[in-house]
Homo-oligomer: A and B are copies of this chain.
Amino acid sequence: MDNQNHTKTDGWVHYVSMSPPSLTNNTADVDRLTTQLKQQLNARFIDMDRSVMVLLPEVLRKSNFNVRCVLFGDNHCYHLIDVQPSNDCLPVYGLAIDLGTTRVVFRLLDLSNHNTIAETTIDNPQGKIAPDVLARIHFTDQPGGLEHLQQLVIDAINQQVQHICFKHCIDIKQILCMSIAGNTCMTHLFLGFPPQAIIREPYIPVINRQMLFPVESLGIEINPQARLFVFPNIGSYFGGDLISGILALNMHHQDEISIMVDVGTNAEVVLGNKDWMIACAGAAGPALESGVSRIGMTAGPGAIERIELENHSMRWHTIDNKKPVGICGSGFIDLAAVLFQAGMLDIRGKFVPNQCKDRLFNINDIIHFLVVPKEKSATSENLTISQVDIDSLIRSKAAMYTILTTIAQSVGIRLTDISVFYVAGTFGAYIDPSSAITIGMIPDLPLERYQSVGNTSLEGASRVLLSRKDSESVSDIQKHITYMELNVNQEFMNRFSAAKFIPHTDTTLFPSVKVPSI
């Protein structure tokens, strides 16, 4: 009974009791069930596969017309995927996937009680072929390249589903629905859509609107009647993972203005509330991704993720408390903030020799700053940061701040009008907002307005499996968003130049940041 009460509301599992047919009430089986369901769910249209219809007469009569229905769909149509006698039915599951360029995250959900059964992560197997989006798209120029990349992901999904189901003693046929959220390119590769036009002017995806496919058409091995919900894109550089994130954060329902920022090589930003929403994406430069310098790395064991200054000596903290092997984006931002506040970096982001003293030395005519001496590093080599690395970070942070200023100005608000600042993704999980404010990367808001949000893409994908309302709002969110092309004009360049100082040429924008007097 608990289940029945729970599922009466907004989910996809519904219990239906019909009057058995009689001479005066001789509606056909399918029509009887769908009429009742449409009424119960206030649905416009309920569709089902022939294979479900075939079994219906027996199930209805065996259950004396009391059945449990599992549906799935979007605002266009609900599909009736499974019908079983109410008093004798198997558990039902849904699978949410965050399809990242680097990693793929799976969450298996019990659709009756909304519990998470399993959550696992694998590397995106396409990474072995080509590490980043651009390289993967180029790979599809080869004959069979697209099909190969697609098959890699689909095989990996099937394997992972089998693995999860085996571990939890679940029949894969009990997984009745699935949702997937990824960036525009990952979505294209997964669906086998040619991605070339995404990266060539005028940057055209095959499709932006959301899709609902029979899983069989993709070779995904769960229940053959299951449907797959694919999150829509806004465009080539603003994908379904972000739409999913907006859903997860409920930004589209809030009165207050919030912003979500996801930073990688690109910075993707969406700003708005229930009444309006504007999005943009821009190159933030490579400083915040791996490969920034010899010691730059993505967040992983041994990465310096946090740096503090204590009595003129640096204290670092590494992931998993391993000996340091490098420095990741959040550690790098901390480092710059710390150096700036110690007067070792000036407002132009240049090392100040008489403050840095013997920590500075030349390698191939480029000034380097010693972060970790070789005795303390895992590699037995000095871990250093060069002026070139710092310059790159300054450009990245200036780009980030300029993008934020530009999007806010485009809708006539000040950055300080933002009530909640969501920092998404891996970057958001590690970054220290106070350091990012110190270097003028993000606006000088009270720290409590910053929220590091986890995997919002996975969270949004889960929501769609658990809530009809959420599933239906996805296309509304997509339509609701105005995508702004970042016009790199003179005004943008002026803002960018001003933001290339620490924290900014206009220090009144960063009242909380103490600029040291050197």
Spell out A's residues near B (CB within 8 Å): 21-23, 25-31, 34, 45, 49-51, 53-54, 56-58, 76-77, 191-194, 196-197, 201-209, 211, 213, 217-218, 233, 235-236, 485
Report yes or no: A58 in contact with B217, Cβ–Cβ below 8 A: no
Measured CA separation A458–B15 after assembly (Å) = 41
Question: A23 CA to B45 CA in the complex, in Å?
Answer: 37
Cβ of A53: which chain B residues have Cβ within 8 Å of it? 191, 193, 206-207
In Å, the complex CA distance between A27 and B208 comes to 8
**Residue of chain B at shortest CB distance from A76:** B45
| 15 contacting pairs across A/B (C-beta < 8 A) | A23-B485, A26-B235, A26-B236, A27-B204, A28-B204, A28-B205, A28-B206, A28-B209, A28-B235, A29-B206, A30-B206, A50-B217, A51-B217, A57-B206, A77-B77
Q: Judge whether B202 and A31 touch: CB under 8 Å.
A: no
Q: Roughly how many angstroms separate A204 CA and B34 CA in the complex, as a whole number?
A: 15
Residues of B within 8 A of A31 (CB): 207-209
**Which chain B residue shows the least CB distance to A45?**
B76
- Flag if B194 contacts A57 (CB, 8 Å): yes
CA distance A416 to B136 in the complex (A): 77
Q: Are A29 and B217 in contact (CB under 8 A)?
A: no
Q: Which residues of B contact A58 (CB under 8 A)?
A: 194
Q: In chain B, what residue has the closest Cβ to A54?
A: B192
Q: Which of A23, A31, A197, A204 has the most CB of B within 10 A?
A: A204
A21 CB, min distance to chain B CBs, angstroms: 5
- Across the interface, which residues of B come within 8 angstroms of A21, CB to CB? 202, 204
Q: In the complex where A76-B45, A193-B54 touch, is A207 in contact with B22 (Cβ < 8 A)?
A: no
> Is the CB–CB distance between B50 and A218 below 8 Å?
yes
CA distance in complex: A207, B209 (Å): 32
> Do A207 and B26 contact each other (CB < 8 Å), given the known contacts A194-B58, A213-B50, A218-B50?
no
By a CB distance below 8 angstroms, the chain B residues around A26 are 202-204, 235-236
**Nearest Cβ in chain B — how far from A413, in angstroms?**
25
Q: Which residues of B are found within 8 Å of A192, using beta-carbon distances?
A: 50, 54
Complex Cα–Cα for A30 and B233 (A): 12
Query: Taking CB as reference atom, which chain B residue is nearest A26?
Result: B202
Asked whether, in the complex, the Cβ of B29 is within 8 Å of the Cβ of A201, the reply is: no
With A191-B50, A217-B50 known as contacts, the answer to whether A22 contacts B202 (CB < 8 A) is yes
Give the shortest distance, in Å, between A27 (CB) and chain B (any CB): 8
CB of A39 to closest CB in B, whole Å: 15
**Complex Cα spacing A238 to B206, Å:** 46
Q: 6 closest pairs, A vs B, by CB?
A: A30-B207, A28-B208, A28-B205, A23-B202, A21-B204, A57-B194
Q: With a 10 A CB-CB cut-off, give which of A197, A201, A236 has the most chain B CB atoms.
A: A197
CB–CB B29/A205 < 8 A: yes
Would B218 and A29 count as touching, CB distance under 8 A?
no
Closest to A23 in B: B202
Please give, as numbers and ranges, the residues of chain B lying within 8 Å of A50 by CB-CB distance: 191-192, 211, 213, 217-218
Residues in B neighbouring A236, C-beta threshold 8 A: 26
A282 to chain B minimum Cβ distance, whole angstroms, is 15
Residue among A54, A203, A235, A236 with the highest chain B CB neighbour number at 10 A = A54
* Docked-complex contact A197 and B57, CB < 8 angstroms: yes
Chain B residue at minimum C-beta to C-beta distance from A44: B76
**Chain B residues whose C-beta falls within 8 Å of the C-beta of A209 in the assembled complex:** 28, 30-31, 34
Q: Inside 8 A of A218's CB, which chain B residues have their CB?
A: 50
Find chain B residues with CB under 8 A from A54 CB.
Answer: 191-194, 206
Provide the residues of chain B in CB contact with A25, threshold 8 Å: 202
- Tell me the minimal C-beta distance from A286 to chain B in angstroms: 25
Contacts of A34 in B (CB 8 A): 209
Cα–Cα, bound, A207→B33 (Å): 10
How far is it, in angstroms, between the C-alpha of A23 and the C-alpha of B485 when the chains are bound?
A: 9
A30 to chain B, nearest CB (A): 4
Q: Nearest-CB distance from A140 to chain B (Å)? A: 12
Q: How far, in whole Å, are A34 and B235 apart by their CA atoms in the complex?
A: 17
**Considering the chains assembled together, what is the distance between the CA atoms of A197 and B193 in angstroms?**
46
User: Bound state CA distance, A485 and B22, in angstroms?
Assistant: 13
CB proximity of A284 to chain B, nearest CB, Å: 21
Q: In this complex, what residue of B is CB-closest to A208?
A: B28
For A34, the closest partner residue in chain B by CB is B209
How many angstroms between the C-alpha atoms of A207 and B57 in the bound complex? Answer: 10
Q: Tell me the complex Cα distance, A57–B197, Å.
A: 8
Additional A-B contacts beyond A27-B208, A53-B191 (7; CB < 8 A)? A25-B202, A26-B202, A29-B197, A29-B207, A54-B192, A56-B206, A57-B196
In the complex, A206→B28 CA distance in Å?
A: 5
